[in-house]
Amino acid sequence: MAGKMAGKTALITGGGRGIGRAIALSFAREGARVAIADLDPQTAQQTAAELPLPGLGLRLDVTQKIQVQETVARVLTEFGHLDVLVNNAGYVTYSTFEECSEETWQLIMDINLKGTFLCSQAVIAHMKERRQGAIINLSSLAAKNGGLAAGPPYAAAKAGVSSLTIGLARYLAPHRVRVNAIAPGVIDTAMTRSPQHDKMATTIPLGEKGQPEDVAHCALFLACEDSRHITGEIIDVNGGLYMD
């Protein structure tokens, strides 16, 4: 199949639904073979079955290092190489500074920040050896505005993802591996269906929530050769909620 991702392979965490699913479908339509890793194996397998090219639907808890390593090894065995990693797996639940429990803080940090680190760490050696590859992290508007609709642990975790993106981009640039991030605003998914997000959506300058496909278009750009000279960037997809 011809396309911007022809001959490429990709691993997308949290790819069973929402933004991850949209990215998987976008990549596959452009010719990529895609492995979808999700904590819910049923959604991973369902989305994999929708792809126009044979894909993989795998269960993965991104907070568990051994599982991450085994998943990357499985993808390499099945596909032979890995060109793109999309660290999309995430979790959010709203809490205030006073009400946030230690357990909630740790869970959100583990899934959003630790998971991004572990998955990136697992592909570094392979991408360095091939002297090519792209890592795309999902940060958030919350990393820039302090988490007005998401709460303190999510904002802190996503700010960590943004910083990790820049550090990893600088580290891997000599090896021709690019690392960038996307910072979505209020995107119409199950994760943002809350009173806090609904209130924020009314202030979007472009007048409506974003769709998962809006983020997928940006991910496709960062994954293919169109962005060959871009690394260390955090791109906003937020309808103008935050402008810099």
Q: Which of 94, 154, 171, 242 is catalytic?
A: 154
| Phi-psi label, residue 130: left if phi above 0, alpha if psi -120 to 50, beta otherwise | alpha
The domains of the chain are located at 9-237
Is residue 106 scored above 80 in pLDDT?
Answer: yes
Q: Annotated catalytic, 154?
A: yes
| pLDDT tens profile 31-70 | 999 999 999 999 999 999 999 999 999 999 999 999 999 9
Query: Which helix or strand (DSSP H or E) is residue 217 part of?
Result: helix 212-223
- Give the model's pLDDT for residue 223: 98
Residue whose token pair is 């639940």: 93
Q: How far is the C-alpha of 161 from the C-alpha of 164, rounded, in Å? A: 5
Element spanning 216, H or E: helix 212-223
Query: E strand or H helix at 35, and its extent?
Result: strand 33-38
pLDDT tops 90 at residue 198:
no
pLDDT the model gives residue 194: 75
Q: Which CATH superfamily is domain 9-237 in?
A: NAD(P)-binding Rossmann-like Domain (3.40.50.720)
**pTM for this prediction:** 0.96
Helices (H), 30-178: 41-50, 65-79, 102-109, 115-130, 142-145, 152-172
Confidence check: pLDDT of 1 > 90: no
Banded pLDDT at 175 (limits 50, 70, 90): very high
Residue 38: partners with Cβ closer than 8 Å, 6 or more residues away: 13, 14, 15, 16, 17, 20, 44, 57, 58, 59, 60, 89
Query: Cα(first)–Cα(last) distance of the chain, in Å?
Result: 38
CA distance 95 to 18: 22
Lowest-confidence pick of 7-11, 86-90, 95-99, 187-191: 187-191
Contacts of 166 (CB under 8 A, 6+ apart): 232, 234
